Amino acid sequence: MTEYKIVDPTTNALVRRYPTSDDATVDRAIAAAAEEFAEWRRRPIKERADAVLAVSREFEHRRADLAAIITREMGKTTREALAEVDLSAAIFAYYAEHGPDFAADQRLDIRGGDDVVVRCEPLGALLGVMPWNYPYYQVARFAAPNLVLGNTVILKHAPSCPESAQAIEDIMRAAGLPAGAYVNVYASNEQVARAIADPRVQGVSLTGSERAGRAVGEVAGRHLKKYVLELGGSDPFIVLPDADLQAAVSAAVEGRMGNAGQACTASKRFIVVAPLYDRFLDAFTAAVRGLTIGDPTDDGVSFGPLSSEEAARTVIAQVRDALEKGATAVAGGSRPARGGAFVEPTVLTGVTPAMRAYREEIFGPVAVVHRVPDTATAIRLANDTPYGLGSVVFGRDIAAAKAVGDALDVGMVSINGPSGTQEDLPFGGVKLSGVGRELGSYGMNEFVNRKVIRVRGRAG
C-alpha cells in the first residue's frame, strides 16, 4: 500500500506519517473538482487570473516556511529550496498576467469569407500526478495555466512529499480559490488508475519515471483521456573543440550537480571531442572534487543528500555496475562515511554499452564523461539513448554549435549554457522523455477544447 510519510534524508529519521486517502475520500475529491468545474469555468477569466496571482503572492509571503518544508522532505539545500519557491511564484504570476491573452479568441480568415473564431475552452477536472524532486515547481507548471484556463485540479503528490502537498492546498485556500478548484489527495497507485478511468476526470498530467508514464499512459489511452507525460532524460552535454573551457566546466558542474543531480534535465553524459578532452576532464574532475556535501541547511554546502535511502542505493548500484565492468571513477564513486542518503559527487570514464550507466538515467550526482574523435561521433553518441529531453552544446562557432543542436533528437537545446527552466520557456521532450509541452504559451495548449465557431455569411 502507498505510504505517505516524511523521512528526513539527511538523517534517514522518520519525521511524520500521513494517512493514505481511502476510496471515499478520493471519490469526494473527484466529485468536488467535477462539480466546481461548472462554476469555475463560468467565472470571467480575469477573475480566475486574479485568484492565481493571489496564489503567487502567497508563495512569496510563505517563502521561508515553504523552503524549509522541502529541505526536510527531500534534502534540497536551503538555497535551492528558496529558488524553487521563487520560480513557482513566478510561474503563477506569469499565467495570471499572460493567460487571458493566451486563451483569447483567434479569428480565422477562411475561404468563402465566413466569420470564424477558435475559442479556447477548458476540458474539466484534471488529475495531476507529481514527483518529489521539485515539489512546488512541478505542481505550479501544471496547475497555474489550467486554473486560469478554467479547468479544476485534483493533485496526487509523491508519497514522500505530503507536507508540501498540503502546503500548496493551504495556499490555494488562502488565495481565495474555491475548495473544488484545487484538491489534494494522498492517493495510492490503484486509486490513481481508477481516477483516470473515472468519466468525471477529463485528463491527466504526470511528471515522473518512464515506468510511471507507461502505466498512466496505458490507462489514459484505454479510456481515451488526454494526457501529458514529462518523463526521464539522459541529457548529452557536447563540448566542441573550440569551446570556452572555463565556461563549459562551470556549466557542466552546475548542470550535473544541481539539486544533487536529481533533475530530468540535468546534463548526465558529457561528450567531449578529443582535442579538448584531457583539459576538460582534468578541470571538471577538480571542480567536482571541490564540492562539499553535508547538512542542506548549511550555507557552505554544495548539495545535500539524495531524496531517500532507496534513491542513494539505486545510484550506487549503477556506479558499482560500471566499475565492476571496467569503468573508472576519477572522482567519488562511493558513499561518504556518515549517516543519511548521501552519495559522493562522482565522475566516471570508460563507460561502455555493456554498463547500466550507458543507457539508464542516473538520478544523482554522477557524471559520465566520453571521449570522441570528432563532431559526427559526438552526435551519434548523443542520440544513442532512448531519451530525448534536453541537451547542451558548447562551442565558440555559434553556427556550428547550432548545427549540432539541430542534429540532436531532443526537445530542448541550450547553446553555451546549462539547461534551465523559466516560466516563459517551453519545456518537454521526445522519445521516452514524454509527450506534450508545458510552460510558456504551450502550457495552455494541452488541456483545452479549441472550439471552432463559424457564422455562415457575414451579417450585413
DSSP H helices, 231-387, are 245-257, 274-289, 309-324, 356-359, 375-383
Close Cβ partners of 376 (under 8 Å, ≥ 6 residues apart): none
For residue 291, give the C-alpha cell: 564540492
Catalytic residue annotation: 230, 264
C-alpha cell at position 444: 495552455
Asked if 72 and 163 touch (Cβ cutoff 8 Å), the reply is: yes
Residue 358 neighbours by CB under 8 Å, 6+ apart: 351, 352, 368
Residue 414 pairs in a beta bridge with 392
Q: Indicate the SS3 state at residue 149.
A: helix
Closest CA to 172 of 143, 214, 132: 143
- According to DSSP H, which parts of 150-227 are helical? 162-174, 189-197, 210-222
Pairing relationship of beta strands 201-207 and 182-185 according to DSSP bridges:
unpaired
Q: How far is CA 153 from CA 126, 133, 184, in A?
A: 5, 20, 8
Nearest to 7 by CA among 130, 131, 132, 129: 132
Using CA atoms, how far apart are residues 317 and 319, in angstroms rounded to an integer? 5
